[in-house]
């Protein structure tokens, strides 16, 4: 989408932080105890060479390889219990609001307040995230009811790119005249899809929810809003980030806790293949809009890996970016799937002059890349 005059504006953003924190030190201590217990239980098979002993994780590796220092989670007790290694969520009756719908509420209300809108002003709610709590009824419709938004609502999933793809759908609905104000909510309960027993990835994710209000630019009044100058999406199939859990799993007689029913990735391959794709995608999108990477005041990039973001920004700008120009939140939040670039945007949206250009860019499983180019209106 490349409008000559902006069709849609981002007028509000909101953020919900999960209530508990796990530091790398705590995470590694629990993983290493899990590994010790497993090795003790399997000592004979390990001695016979039938299975490999588990090797310990390390805080130094995690910080050097990813830049992640801590993460917010809904339940730390279950994750850190070496006998359990997954969060504990109490089942709820159907009459009670679902956990995933509940975490949407405060982020959404904060985004609406920033936009100066009531829930009833929203005529489309898109719930865009990497994992849905259930197939139906749509999570979005439950959130629509809980907030009191109007019109219609639907779920969509493009893994880590769900939020930026959702923003494009919001702008398209506004252009088509089917909505005037859209709420894009991304409740990411990544702690439930992460295999906390897997040394290669146990440090990667955290829980969060973000919300974005996108409005018809002609009706937008909120100060400090961002006109959307263009959106550009791309996908290319890859098995390098994959989760096989689905409604066929029970018919395939698969253990729901098996490794491949959770997040699995070839991290190094992802790094090598996705970085050039993102550089080309952002560069091409800016050129299409008559802009240059140097002309961008702020890059709110997907937050999976610090080295990845530095590589991408360096390729675009020709030098290392300042933290002000390419803000980092993954040290505090870890990878929060589709919410990462939106958290960066929400937390680092101030300090821009009227007319300054910014890029929100997500990338991840699919592969998928979503780029939203915005211009600050003070």
User: Contact positions toward ligand COA, by CB under 6 A?
Assistant: 57-58, 61-62, 65-66, 160, 199-200, 241, 265, 267-268, 270-271, 304-305, 308, 335, 364-365
Task: Give, for 375, the enclosing helix (H) or strand (E).
Answer: strand 368-377
Does residue 71 contact residue 175 with C-beta atoms inside 8 Å? no
CB of 271 to ligand COA, least distance (A): 4
| Sequential DSSP letters for 189-227 | -GGGTS-TT-TTTTTSB--EEEEEEEEETTT---TTEEE
Burial class (CB in 10 A: 0-12, 13-18, 19+), 207: buried
**Nearer to ligand COA by C-beta: 184 or 241?**
241
CB of 24 to ligand COA, least distance (A): 10
| Sequential DSSP letters for 81-150 | -TTT-S-------TTSPPHHHHTTHHHHHHHHHHHT--GGG--EEEEE-S--S-SSS-HHHHHHHHHT--
**Nearer to ligand COA by C-beta: 1 or 328?**
328
CB of 82 to ligand COA, least distance (A): 15
129 among known catalytic residues: no
**Nearer to ligand COA by C-beta: 124 or 304?**
304
Provide the 8-state DSSP code for 257. Answer: T
Dihedral sign for Cα 170, 173, 124, 242, please: negative
CB of 301 to ligand COA, least distance (A): 11
Provide the 8-state DSSP code for 335. Answer: B
* C-alpha to C-alpha distance for 191 and 367, rounded to whole angstroms: 21
Q: Which residue minimizes CB distance to ligand COA?
A: 267
CB of 90 to ligand COA, least distance (A): 28
**Nearer to ligand COA by C-beta: 181 or 369?**
369
Does residue 180 contact residue 163 with C-beta atoms inside 8 Å? no
**Nearer to ligand COA by C-beta: 12 or 67?**
67
Residues 6+ away with beta carbon under 8 Å from 85: 30, 34, 78, 79, 196, 197
Task: Determine how many CB atoms are found less than 10 A away from the CB of residue 273.
Answer: 14
**Nearer to ligand COA by C-beta: 61 or 152?**
61
* C-alpha to C-alpha distance for 346 and 352, rounded to whole angstroms: 13
Query: Directed axis angle between helix 162-176 and helix 340-347, to 10°?
Result: 80
Query: Largest Cα–Cα distance of the chain, in whole Å?
Result: 72
**Nearer to ligand COA by C-beta: 152 or 271?**
271
CB of 198 to ligand COA, least distance (A): 9
CB of 194 to ligand COA, least distance (A): 11
Among 104, 160, 209, 275, the one annotated catalytic? 160
Using alpha carbons, select from 334, 363, 328 the residue that is nearest to residue 347.
Answer: 328
Active-site residues, by number, are 160
């Amino acid at each position: 989408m490349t409008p000559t005059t902006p069709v849609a504006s981002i007028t509000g953003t909101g953020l919900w932080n999960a209530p508990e924190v796990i530091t790398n030190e705590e995470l590694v201590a629990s993983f290493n105890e899990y590994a010790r217990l497993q090795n003790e239980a399997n000592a004979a098979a390990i001695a016979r060479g039938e299975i490999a002993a588990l090797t310990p994780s390390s805080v130094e590796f995690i910080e050097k390889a990813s830049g992640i220092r801590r993460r917010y989670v809904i339940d730390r007790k279950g994750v850190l219990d070496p006998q359990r290694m997954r969060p504990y969520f109490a089942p709820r009756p159907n009459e009670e609001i679902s956990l995933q719908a509940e975490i949407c509420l405060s982020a959404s209300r904060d985004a609406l307040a920033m936009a100066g809108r009531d829930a009833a002003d929203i005529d489309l709610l898109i719930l865009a995230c990497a994992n849905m709590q259930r197939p139906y009824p749509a999570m979005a419709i439950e959130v629509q009811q809980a907030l009191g938004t109007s019109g219609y609502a639907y779920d969509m999933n493009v893994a880590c790119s769900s939020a930026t793809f959702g923003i494009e759908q919001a702008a398209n609905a506004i252009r088509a005249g089917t909505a005037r104000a859209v709420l894009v909510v991304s409740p990411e309960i990544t702690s439930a899809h992460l295999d906390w027993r897997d040394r290669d990835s146990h440090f990667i994710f955290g829980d969060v929810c973000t919300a974005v209000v996108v409005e018809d630019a002609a009706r937008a009044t909120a100060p400090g809003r961002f006109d959307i100058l263009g959106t550009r999406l791309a996908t290319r199939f890859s098995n390098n980030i994959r989760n096989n859990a689905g409604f066929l799993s029970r018919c395939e007689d698969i253990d729901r806790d098996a490794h491949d029913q959770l997040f699995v990735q070839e991290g190094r391959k992802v790094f090598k293949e996705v970085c050039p794709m993102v550089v080309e995608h952002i560069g091409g999108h800016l050129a299409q809009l008559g802009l240059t990477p140097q002309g961008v005041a702020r890059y709110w990039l997907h937050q999976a890996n610090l080295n990845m973001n530095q590589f991408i920004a360096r390729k675009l700008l020709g030098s290392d970016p300042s933290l002000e120009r390419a803000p980092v939140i993954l040290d505090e939040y870890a990878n929060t799937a589709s919410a990462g670039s939106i958290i960066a945007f929400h937390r680092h949206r101030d300090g821009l002059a009227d007319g300054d250009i910014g890029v929100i860019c997500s990338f991840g499983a699919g592969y998928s890349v979503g780029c939203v180019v915005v211009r600050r209106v003070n």
